[in-house]
Chain A
Amino acid sequence: MSFTSLKNLPLKESLAPGHRLCDGCGIPHVVRYALKAVDDHSVVIVNATGCLEVCTTPYPYTSWRVPYVHTLFGNTGAVASGIVETIEKLSSEKRSQYFDVIVFAGDGGTFDIGLQALSGALERGHDFLYICYDNEAYMNTGNQRSSATPMYSRTTTSYAGKAIPGKLERKKDIIGIVVAHGIKYAATASISHWRDYMTKVRKGVEVKGPAFIHVLQPCQTGWRYDPALTIKMAKMAVDANVFPLIEVEKGKYKITYRPPKKILVADYLKPQRRFAHLFLPENDHLIRQIQQYVDQNWERLNKLEKFSETG
């Protein structure tokens, strides 16, 4: 299936409107594009505790038109493992209808508390797609730092004050971690590049065994930008090479989108008040440092791609 234009996308909405996510939240895009990409499959959703779960399932309401299960914050890899194994058995015995399993979990539920369960599931090789929507902090509890929070970002547990300029550590390389498990398919995606994202979701569902997609999901509430700019923020992250779009198929790295017009990291940081302190004159060097890291990472990915092509 190819996704040629927005107009031709399936009309079916598996996530109903009327959910309680913030205005300008990027999560619905993460979910809706994914489910449209596989609208010809039967799917079951496994969701970690977080914004998506809280805002779509306030009893007695639900936004989910497909079967959905939420249990805990840090165990989605394990819950998905159990569902996949069971439905494979039950459907082969004609006791149940087969379905594909898609996990949605935030960055906290993936990079931090859910990493062990995810790692176990990837290592064992159960057949499911794991989509991490990354808003770069624990947003449901009010914007606390996670290991996905970018360097020098201000969160409520990495305040930018006179002594410390926000989070001091770099973002964890989750793709590197999942690829190290030897899974057949891993990718990054951005809600601004829906065609790229949907193609990757389709591949992820169709590949036999576990697949992982890391999607950048701008969060106006935590990042503190104008809610109208969500898609633009997602696009700027890609254009600044802050969030490169790649895929790793059977260990081979490929950059799936090269920004035709690269922008500066500072242009991307500027509209976000989580980085406001970086624009004080004394913090100029911090922006330069981020730019340097971004450039280095882009170079690294290009090398990995080249290496994958040749060898």
Chain B
Amino acid sequence: MIMKQKSVALVGDQAVAHAVRQSNVDLIAAYPITPQTIIVETLNEFLSNGELSARYINVESEHSALSAVIGGSLAGGRTFTATASQGLGLMQEVLYVASGLRCPIIMAVTTRAMSAPINIHADHSDVMGSRDAGWMQIFCENVQEAYDLTLMAFRLAERDDVLLPIMVNLDGFLISHTMEDLKILEDSVVSEYLPPRVASLKLDPERPMTFGSFALPDYYTEFKRQQVEGIENALRAAPEEWKRFEALSGRKYTVTRPHFMDGAEIALVSMGTSAGTARYAASKMREDGLKVGALSVRLFRPFPSEEVKKALVNVNVIVVMDRTVSFGAYGGPLFNEITPLLYGTNDSPTIANFIYGLGGRDVTWRMMVDATEIALKKKKTGEKIPKAQFLGVRE
């Protein structure tokens, strides 16, 4: 049954804070960094007003933020923290421990460029630098999604067949500081959807266990193999959980979001806020008679290879938009996920990779049209997989 919901206007950070407030969270670790700060500030306001029952620790660094929620998670609690950019960088070694110890921590990342030069605006260089840390990664496109996907993340992460941490990525400023209308569920409805966590494995004097062993070459590989199983299970688990949420909210979520992809000959593939721009660019080009579709990749880890392949297998020209640089590589991370999926398919498509939007640089629909035109030219010249090129740069 679709539940009654309230329409409110919030910025993305506040929307995430509301989701956390409603989620029966036991422990929050807080450390400021733009553009995430509003999340922990809003949560603190809830706490001070008696609207949040979680314990709240003002840690002295992001290294400690993630360490503290690992502790809370192993003690059996539901835990949350938030960060961006340098904060995620400082967490680097701790990220691998959170996933390795199977802690279902939820962390909102307001994506932001990495220093140097220092910059506070959106790009994906922070989260892409951590893409092999064993965390799931979900990209939001707008404020509503930031709220919904945060709520849903707890259930997905805590499933025994998954049991892994999740980064909920919302583009810095473009979502975090942008006010939009959204619908939020009632507290009681969320509480029923997400009752307090019952951990099957935890620090328990009745059942002493050792967490964080020293595993040598004779066992290390099996630990990693099990993690692979957990994260791959999420490919099945995420749609299940999201369907359950759809029944409550009426909002449908899928691991990718295809737009005009049926019969499309050209596709614009992107993640996060620029997906909306891509959809608009596609509709503009459709007016000109080009059969363009757009594909937004919502779940980046685990990567929904089957769905992406299915969506793109009949497309001739694919424009892959990466909001980060993989220095010295042939292309960006999204390009590197997609290209092997299409290897050897009937008529290997042209796949053109564009690096855009670094440090918050605006990307317009016209730029996406430009990118498509470049890709079409490559197709004509027979260059199937050109090297990544910058979009909107002073050379």
Interface, chain A (partner B; CB < 8 A)? 42-44, 46-47, 53-54, 57-60, 62, 64-72, 74-75, 77-90, 93, 95-97, 99, 116-117, 119-120, 123-124
Contact = CB atoms under 8 A, between A and B. Distances in A.
Given A42-B205, A59-B214, A99-B205, A72 B27 contact: no
Contact of B63 (A60, A75, A88): A75
Given A59-B214, A82-B57, A120-B64, A97 B75 contact: no
Nearest to A126: B57
B367 interface: no
Contacts of B101: 71
B203 A67 contact: yes
Interface in B171-216: 196, 198, 202-216
A57 B55 CA distance: 31
Nearest to B199: A96
B69 interface: yes
7 contacts: A46-B71, A58-B213, A67-B210, A83-B75, A86-B72, A89-B53, A97-B205
A78 B205 contact: no
Given A116-B64, A124-B57, A79 B210 contact: no
A120 to B, nearest CB: 3
B345 interface: no
A81 B73 CA distance: 12
A57 B215 CA distance: 8
B256 interface: no
Contacts of B273: none
A89 B26 contact: yes
B27 A86 contact: yes
Contacts of B55: 85-86, 88-89
Main secondary structure of the interface of A (DSSP, over half): mixed
Contacts, number: 163
Given A77-B64, A124-B57, A82 B27 contact: yes
B280 to A, nearest CB: 44
A70 B209 CA distance: 11
A66 to B, nearest CB: 5
B214 A96 contact: no
Given A82-B27, A83-B72, A95-B196, A66 B61 contact: no
Contacts of A97: 204-206
Contact of A57 (B57, B58, B65, B212): B212
Given A42-B205, A86-B27, A80 B71 contact: yes
Given A78-B63, A93-B196, A120-B60, A71 B75 contact: no
Q: Which of B58, B59, B75, B97 has the most CB of A within 10 A?
A: B75
Given A78-B68, A89-B27, A68 B63 contact: no
B205 A43 contact: yes
Contacts of A68: 208-212
B93 A72 contact: yes
A57 B64 contact: no
Nearest to B56: A85
3 nearest interchain CB pairs? A82-B71, A120-B60, A82-B68
Contacts of A79: 67-68, 70-71
Contact of A124 (B58, B93, B208): B58
Nearest to A53: B214
B74 interface: yes
A294 to B, nearest CB: 34
